[in-house]
Amino acid sequence: MGPSMQINLDSRPASKVEAEALVSYVFEPEKEQGTAVQGVIADLDQAAAGALGRLASGGELTGKMLEFTLVHFAPGIGAQRLLLVGAGKSEKFGTAELRRLASAAVRYLKARSVKRIALLTRESERTAEAAQAVTEGLLLGNFDGDKYRTDKKNPPVESAALVGFDPAAQAGIARGRIIAESQNFTRELGNEPSNLLTPRLLAERAEAMAREAGLAVDILDEKRIEELKMGALMGVARGSVEPPRVIVLTYTPEKLTPGTPVLGFVGKAITFDTGGISIKPSNDMEKMKFDMAGGAAMLGAMRALARLKPPVKVIAVIPSTENMPGGRAQKPGDVQIAMSGKSIEVINTDAEGRLILSDGIAYAKQLGATHLVDAATLTGAIVVALGHFNTGVFGSDAAFTERVLASARRAGEKMWPMPLDDDYRELIKSTIADIQNVGSGRGAGAIVAAWFLREFTGDTPWVHLDIAGTAWLDDAKPWAGKGGTGVAVRTLVDLAMNFDGRSPTAK
What confidence tier does 258 reach under pLDDT thresholds 50, 70, 90?
confident
List 99, 354, 403, 490, catalytic entry: 354
pLDDT for the residue numbered 3: 60
What confidence tier does 501 reach under pLDDT thresholds 50, 70, 90?
low
pLDDT for the residue numbered 507: 40
Asked if 333 and 423 count as a contact pair (C-beta separation under 8 A), the reply is no
User: Could you give the 3-state DSSP secondary structure of residue 216?
Assistant: strand
Any catalytic annotation for residue 31?
no
Position 250 pLDDT exceeds 70: yes
Q: Is the dihedral of CA 61, 62, 64, 67 positive or negative?
A: negative
* The length of the chain, given as a count of residues: 507
Instruction: Give me the residues paired with residue 68 across strands.
Output: 85
- Mean pLDDT for 29-49 is 87
For the stretch 135-149, pLDDT in tens is 999 999 999 999 999
Separation CA 165–CA 131 (nearest Å): 8
- Mean pLDDT for 257-286 is 97
CATH 3.40.50.300 applies to domain 6-163: no
User: Could you give the 3-state DSSP secondary structure of residue 319?
Assistant: strand
- Mean pLDDT for 413-434 is 97
User: Could you give the 3-state DSSP secondary structure of residue 335?
Assistant: strand
User: Could you give the 3-state DSSP secondary structure of residue 64?
Assistant: coil
Position 441 pLDDT exceeds 90: no
Single out the residue of 347, 329, 339, 331 nearest to residue 433, CA to CA.
347
Which percentage of the chain shows pLDDT scores above 90? 93
For the stretch 80-90, pLDDT in tens is 999 999 999 99
Q: Comparing 31-40, 105-114, 178-187, 256-265, which segment has the lowest mean pLDDT? A: 31-40
Any catalytic annotation for residue 354?
yes
For the stretch 334-372, pLDDT in tens is 999 999 999 999 999 999 999 999 999 999 999 999 999
- Distances 200 to 34, 61, 300 between C-alpha atoms, Å: 61, 53, 18
pLDDT for the residue numbered 506: 41
Separation CA 229–CA 306 (nearest Å): 30
Which residue spans of the chain are classified as CATH 3.40.220.10? 6-163
| Average pLDDT of the residues of the chain | 96
> Is 124 exposed, middle or buried (CB count within 10 Å of its CB: 0-12, 13-18, 19+)?
exposed
pLDDT for the residue numbered 454: 98
82 sits in which H/E element: strand 81-86
Position 124 pLDDT exceeds 70: yes
- Mean pLDDT for 469-480 is 97
What confidence tier does 436 reach under pLDDT thresholds 50, 70, 90?
very high
Position 108 pLDDT exceeds 70: yes
Position 119 pLDDT exceeds 70: yes
For the stretch 181-219, pLDDT in tens is 999 999 999 999 999 999 999 999 999 999 999 999 999
DSSP for 119-184, written as a single string = EE--GGG-SHHHHHHHHHHHHHHT----TT-SS-SSPPP-EEEEES--TTHHHHHHHHHHHHHHHH
Amino acid at 51: A
What confidence tier does 1 reach under pLDDT thresholds 50, 70, 90?
low
List 115, 116, 229, 280, catalytic entry: 280
What is the phi/psi pair of residue 392, to 5°? -80, 135
Amino acid at 115: K
Position 299 pLDDT exceeds 50: yes
Amino acid at 495: L
Three-class SS of 254-310: CCCCCCCCEEEEEECEEEEECCCCCCCCCCCHHHHHHCCHHHHHHHHHHHHHHHHCC
- Mean pLDDT for 25-49 is 88
CATH architecture of 180-497: 3-Layer(aba) Sandwich (3.40)
What is the phi/psi pair of residue 160, to 5°? -140, 140
